Amino acid sequence: MLATFMEVLDTSVANVSLPHIAGNLSASNQEATWVLTSYLVSNAIILPAAAWFGGFFGRKRFLISCIMIFTVSSALCGLANSLGFLIFARIVQGLGGGALQPIAQAVLLESFPKEKRGQAMAVFALGVIVAPIVGPTVGGWITDNYSWRWIFLINLPIGIWAVSMVKAFVEDPPYIKKNRALSIDYIGFTLMALGLGLLQVVLDKGQEVDWFSANWIRWSSAVVVISLVAFVLRELRTDHPVVDLRILKDRNFAIGVGIVTVIGAVLYSTTALLPLFLQSLMGYSAYLSGLALSPRGIGAFCTAIVVGRMIGAVDARILVAGGLGFLGLTCFALGNINLQIGMSNVVWPIVGTGIGISAIFVPLTTLTVGTLHKEEMGNATGLFNLMRNIGGGAGIALTTTMLARMSQAHQAILVGHLTPYDPSYQVAFQKIQGFLAHAGGGLTDPLTYGLIYQELVRQSTLMAFVDTFHIVGVASLAIIPAVFLFKKVRPKGDAVLASH
């Protein structure tokens, strides 16, 4: 879990520090977002191929190498003296970090018999779920009190500790030692890298350039489609694929991958939307907005422990369905926000979101891989985590687009009430004008119109946030029926999987 926590933390810890990074390195805020995009692109390229690299180099050796690459590149990020060097270091960091999560997850799943996988995944979930929650808080606090460079340098002691633990306790299972890949599928890997890399760039930058209004988005999208279709065809026909897509024939795995894609979209979009609401409309600082998200970790922490013990006694499908229902209800609760709420109105729905996500993650992972052979675990965890990340990227892109479009739509509707024939508008106009005149300001008419329009924008943006949270809640509830398509996983009597 150490390596996983470190890697997942770095997907979110830099978000609140971008303005500081941009100012310190003499870059614009838009240029600084490549600090995030470059990491996600390189991370996405390695994720699905992690199992293949583990088989080719040996899982233990590959895991240690990735932790070392991640740790060293973290130090380079902290020492960067230009934006170009920082982006280069983040690319290397993403290449090292992409394999950490699926390899660590495969090690856990293979180390325990089926009846104990729930407890193992509960411990693992603490790293996966809590890390992106505490990331913005930790990043904001370190940046405000010390320097943005320390958000990367804090990885050094964790990385050294993780390498020591892997050397002491992790061993390659026998089938990896015997079945090393004999050749590299250069064509498949190139197609995958091109398709997934460009897909991440399109999702991350699309809203900034109004999507298909930009020529490079249209061309990039075409290349993404062609590359990924060619990649799928290539991997289904080659003898030594980088990613064995035939595993999707397993019913439980295919359903689990589809569900985790939607859950990734819900989780990442709510994590992105709420700080944006708190900072843009409520005037919260980066640290306070990150702090408002941190209670999700409390809900996730407590629930993961309880759910890990419930698996085996309660049908995992019931747990996943209940978690999705709870998650949907908390998203609707977040849809009740207004401009007069206090932090407590946000904290409790956020705790509920953590409970829902944790109640979903542990049994969903158990169901998804419960019908697979141990030799398929590494490949399965890579695809599982890739689709969660792609779902997250797509969720953020869709919700930010909806936010912008719905805000414009609500503004167009609300502005129709700002006429001299509307009594409420006339009363508000006269009150504001009287206040400005009493304050001694000149040109009260332009100032009054400006203040009214400012409030109009705030109200229309608030309504867009409410609509978006409701849509995310509907998405959570809509996939509940798919949960009951899983075959029931029976853990009793199962032999112990390959231990190390």
Asked if 210 contacts 339 with a C-beta cutoff of 8 angstroms, the reply is no
CATH number at residue 399: 1.20.1250.20
In Å, how far are 2, 168, 394 from 397, measured between CA atoms? Answer: 29, 42, 5
Single residue among 200, 220, 239 that ends a domain in this structure: 239
Count CB atoms within 10 A of the CB of residue 405. Answer: 12
Asked whether residue 492 is domain-assigned, the answer is no
Cα 27 to Cα 80: distance, rounded to the nearest angstrom: 13
Using DSSP's 3-state secondary structure scheme, residue 130 falls into helix
Asked if 359 contacts 219 with a C-beta cutoff of 8 angstroms, the reply is no
Asked whether residue 80 is domain-assigned, the answer is yes
277 and 414 both lie in a single domain: no
Both tokens of 288, joined, read: 């306070």
| DSSP assignment letter at 240 | S
Asked whether residue 490 is domain-assigned, the answer is no
Count CB atoms within 10 A of the CB of residue 493. Answer: 8
Both tokens of 389, joined, read: 């990340």
180 and 329 both lie in a single domain: yes
267 and 313 both lie in a single domain: yes
pLDDT at position 229 is: 92
Put simply, whether the predicted model's pTM sits higher than 0.85 gets the answer no
Cα 465 to Cα 492: distance, rounded to the nearest angstrom: 46
Asked if 23 contacts 175 with a C-beta cutoff of 8 angstroms, the reply is no
Residue 314 phi, psi (nearest 5): -120, 140
pLDDT at position 46 is: 81
256 and 323 both lie in a single domain: yes
SS3 assignment for 245-261? HHHHHCHHHHHHHHHHH
Q: What is the pLDDT of residues 227-244, one digit of tens each?
A: 989 988 888 888 777 777
149 and 274 both lie in a single domain: yes
Residue 465 phi, psi (nearest 5): -60, -45
252 and 112 both lie in a single domain: yes
Asked whether residue 496 is domain-assigned, the answer is no
154 and 256 both lie in a single domain: yes
pLDDT at position 497 is: 33
| Number of domain units in the chain | 3
Asked whether residue 143 is domain-assigned, the answer is yes
Give 314's strand partners: 311
340 and 375 both lie in a single domain: yes
Asked if 122 contacts 304 with a C-beta cutoff of 8 angstroms, the reply is yes
Q: What's the number of CA atoms in the CB half-sphere (13 Å) around residue 273?
A: 35
Asked whether residue 41 is domain-assigned, the answer is yes
DSSP 347-414: HHHHHHHHHHHHHHHHHHHHHHHTTS-GGGHHHHHHHHHHHHHHHHHHHHHHHHHHHHHHHHHHHHHH
434 and 464 both lie in a single domain: no
Asked whether residue 497 is domain-assigned, the answer is no
Asked whether residue 450 is domain-assigned, the answer is yes
Those residues whose C-beta lies under 8 Å from the C-beta of residue 337, and which sit 6 or more positions away, are: 277, 345, 346, 462, 465, 466, 469
Owning domain of residue 33: 2-184+240-408+460-483
pLDDT at position 470 is: 92
Single residue among 239, 270, 285 that ends a domain in this structure: 239
Cα 426 to Cα 434: distance, rounded to the nearest angstrom: 12
414 and 315 both lie in a single domain: no
The ranges of the chain with pLDDT < 70 are 11-12, 15-16, 29-30, 33, 126, 128-130, 132-133, 136, 175-184, 286, 436-445, 490-500
Cα 173 to Cα 176: distance, rounded to the nearest angstrom: 6
81 and 105 both lie in a single domain: yes
**CA 307, 310, 316: angle at the middle one, nearest 5?**
85
- How far is CA 46 from its chain centroid? 16
Residue 311 phi, psi (nearest 5): -65, 130
Single residue among 213, 239, 265 that ends a domain in this structure: 239
pLDDT at position 500 is: 32
Both tokens of 334, joined, read: 């977040």
Cα 271 to Cα 269: distance, rounded to the nearest angstrom: 5
177 and 270 both lie in a single domain: yes
Q: What is the pLDDT of residues 82-120, one digit of tens each?
A: 888 988 998 899 888 888 878 887 787 777 777 777 777
